[in-house]
Structure 1
Amino acid sequence: MVAATVHPMPGRAVSKAERDALAAQIDHNAPAARIPIPEKAPPKRPPHPWLGPDEIEPGRKHRIAKAREEIGGRIDLHGMDQMQAKSALEGFVVGAWNRGDRAVLVITGKGARGGGVLRKMTPEWLSAPVLREVVAGISEAHRNHGGEGALYVALKRKTRT
């Protein structure tokens, strides 16, 4: 039925002899070909990697900067190596969350010539699985609190048990 209504594109016409030869090869009484079904479903795509904590909401960041929302604690990572700083940061953030603090200040310093290792690594450490359930967001601090050399860390609410 469809073949009667479809016309070949110009320049691609099939001669009547070729059409008849192809039609003779088709067995209209033969069962449809079976397509093998794979035994296993294809593997699911892995979940997207967590890219880290979001930026603190602008209104909340403003309240923290203007001291309308209390900064529960401060930690200064100056003078520490990476291992010490990471360990101190994790302990400090978890401790602040356990106390019920909602925001803390992490002072990293700017580093020599603006390329501070601690400044670059701190957001990565805060996005690690250990702190993922605790940290709600991070933002650069207001210049009164250290500016580029410090971070506000917003903490999630502690679930009631």
Structure 2
Amino acid sequence: MSAPRGLSDEEAQAWEKVAATVKRLHPASTAPKANAPTAPPAPRPPKPVPKPRKVSPAPRPLAPPPKPAAGGNSLDSHWDRRLKSGVVQPDFTLDLHDHGLDAAYDRLMSGVGQARAMGARTILLVTGKSRPVDPADRATKRGAIRAKVLDWLAASSHHSAIAAVRRAHQRHGGDGALYIVLRRER
């Protein structure tokens, strides 16, 4: 690569005219002139090495951390046994088959709201069997709805009303369905 050429007298005069019309963004700073030799920047002093801090052991927590509302284990063993054995009859059923992601989301949110308004305790949510799905999938693969349901519920305005989400019993759809257990209204 060749060295940059200097400006001719004609170009230097044109540049001076242009530079005279420009207002500086930062008036306090002075830019070096093109023809002036520039000195190399002064070397920076090395950063001081921080002294290691003495770390005391963390105190033990007094109570266990709260369990997450959707999918957490906030049911007593009686409820879990009844759900696993298929004894529980759902109070409300939502079927999301043949819906795109946007339509399934809207149906899920309105359905949970309707079930809460009716005083339902257990919702059977039919989603279809889960498949490995890319998180950015837009309903081009099977199982996309099932892959997103827990995230939708956790981020919804209904998350505080959900006691647990469990896999449905085989007679209610097995791997293709979920139970949503709502908290009792007080």
TM-score normalised over the length of structure 1: 0.60
Q: Which amino acid aligns with 1:73?
A: F
Partner of 1:109: 128
Partner of 1:153: 180
Partner of 1:137: 164
CA contact 1:134–1:156 (8 Å) conserved in 2: yes
Partner of 1:95: 114
Note the residue ranges of structure 1 that are not aligned, 5 or more in a row: 1-47
Using the TM superposition, name which of 87-96 and 50-59 deviates more: 50-59
Partner of 2:58: none
Partner of 1:128: 155
Distance in 2 of aligned mates of 1:67 and 1:147: 10
Pairwise CA distance, 1:88: 0.4
CA contact 1:106–1:150 (8 Å) conserved in 2: yes
Q: Give the 5 Å matches for 1:31-110.
A: 53=70, 54-55=72-73, 57=75, 58-64=77-83, 66=85, 68-110=87-129
Q: Which amino acid aligns with 1:119?
A: R
Q: Deviations over 1:20-78 (max 9, x none)?
A: xxxxxxxxxxxxxxxxxxxxxxxxxxxx9x95511463431332455644311111101
CA 1:124 to 1:75, structure 2 compared with 1: closer, same or farther past 3 Å?
same
CA RMSD of aligned residues (A): 2.6
TM-score normalised over the length of structure 2: 0.52
Pairwise CA distance, 1:144: 1.0
How many residue pairs match? The answer is 111
Note the residue ranges of structure 2 that are not aligned, 5 or more in a row: 1-64, 134-141
Q: Which amino acid aligns with 1:81?
A: G
CA contact 2:74–2:163 (8 Å) conserved in 1: yes
